[in-house]
Structure 1
Amino acid sequence: MNASNFEININAPASKVWQTLWEDGFYMQWTSAFHAGSYAKSDWKQGSKIQFLSPGGKGMYSEIDALEHNKKMVFKHLGEIKNYVEQPIEDSVSWSGSKEGYTLTESNGQTNLVVTVNFPKEMDAYLSEAFPKALAILKELAEKNYITVSTSVNATIEKVWEYWIDSKHIVQWNHASDDWHTPKAVNHVKVGAHFSYTMAAKDGSMSFDFEGTYIDVVHHEKISYAIVGGRKVFLLFALIDNQIKIVETFEAENENSLELQKTGWQNILDNFKKHVESDG
């Protein structure tokens, strides 16, 4: 069993880093560095069981060994999960009993995060590469005003992906309220490509173009892009509980309240879900 420490300094208070670590939507974003669509199931109380899962039903089951809000979280790994079924501990000896700890120390509004992990030797190269990537995503999310919205769609990933990227469908669901619509959408989903959605009030009183450039695209798994002006958006698509969960995390703007922005983006996601599930 190998032991490694991963450390990062984050320009945010410990409470913000803690929220970004463990709140469901944010957790799925930074752990996408290990596997897109990774998620956790737990009540997040000390002594409780927690399952760490990938969309394919593989993962680990563990217990929360230590918990001090905004300061420390330690997981004790017990065994492996295959096809969503917890395997006997004696069949999971490579991980059984290992620990994974997160320690946060705040000073002058900044937080030092140290992650201590015990893991099988065969995981050394993978985790040594993935953990710094994951912590870099965490830092990005914690240091800026990001908002997460999500929905679960009762459809196949093929249908969800098609309806998300195809312009003829985008014009059907891309509006936050019934008095707005998207009369035109131009979309080319590949890294470096540009997209543009014309969003307009139905009474003709105002309109604007929502446009940006794709940063990362992994077919059926994730999309990230930068809106004109530099704000970033991260999207995940994951099969969870026989539905496709979409997690959308966007960098907030400064003109409208965070609550108003979250409501607007959530409404658009809800419209997407409605369009996909009601069409064919």
Structure 2
Amino acid sequence: MATRPTVDNELSAILNELWKLDVNRLKPGIDYAINLQGKADYVAKGNNSAKDKASTPLFTFVNEDKLKSIPTYNCFMNLLNNYEISTNDVETVTREELEENNLFLDAILKTQVMKRAHKYLISKGQASSNEAQFKVQLCNIWFKLYERGKTRGENSCGFEHVFVGEIKKGKEIMGLHNWVQFYLQEKLKVVDYRGYNSKDMPDVNDHVINLQFSWKSLVKPLGSSFIGVSPEFEVALFTIIFLTSNNPTISTVVKVQKYLLEIVVCRLEHSIGTSYPKLLSSNNRDL
């Protein structure tokens, strides 16, 4: 019999507080709808010929008017076209893009989710009580450019990897763990959902899903993403885990609402290299 993973109760407590404060989380079946379809076949990394077990997109409906009406989503979506997808290409940041980064950080810092995360990090000695200094800290964690791989140039940042996605040497999908970006890329017909990736079929109302997909003709055998949660919730969650551990790779198990999750956060220099949730079970049902 498999041993149940040890849950970090302190982290679970603060993350559940953030969950309750996430008033901008969209409601399944009302603000959006998904179609899970079939279970994805196992495929090794680098194999792009797996059979597609989903004939239609994951998202059947998203209320885009609502997304655009909520400042944090609106500012978030403005950032999604600011990056070179290929890690072979060095990033160039314009004044307009810097301003968009600032507007996004300003928007999320106004939310109760980020205010509570800030307060928690102050209590842990991991953030200044000065909001302006905390904003600079967030900017460095998420938007500071660094070199990913031997490219001889700054070609990546935490935000790009986690929320936008990257292609490594034209052969491998990296990151892309955000549901809004997934939906928008599906709408453009460059992302193809290929099925859920868990033992049992998830529920269409679940807010976390393990999945398989292709992007720009490459297959990601196992991906994972929150569904419906706000950008501020994800930034808050991953930032807390990043700042409360010094390990190069952090893997912690938490119970958030009805979900048992493994949260993985990796460092690259002094910024986030990657971060994502992995669904272990929902409603005490092993997946």
Question: Which structure's residues are more often helix, by fraction?
Answer: 2
Which protein, 1 or 2, shows the higher relative CO under an 8 Å CA cutoff with sep ≥ 6?
Answer: 2
Q: Normalising to structure 1: TM-score of the pair?
A: 0.25
Q: Normalising to structure 2: TM-score of the pair?
A: 0.25
Answer with 1 or 2: which has the greater Rg. 1
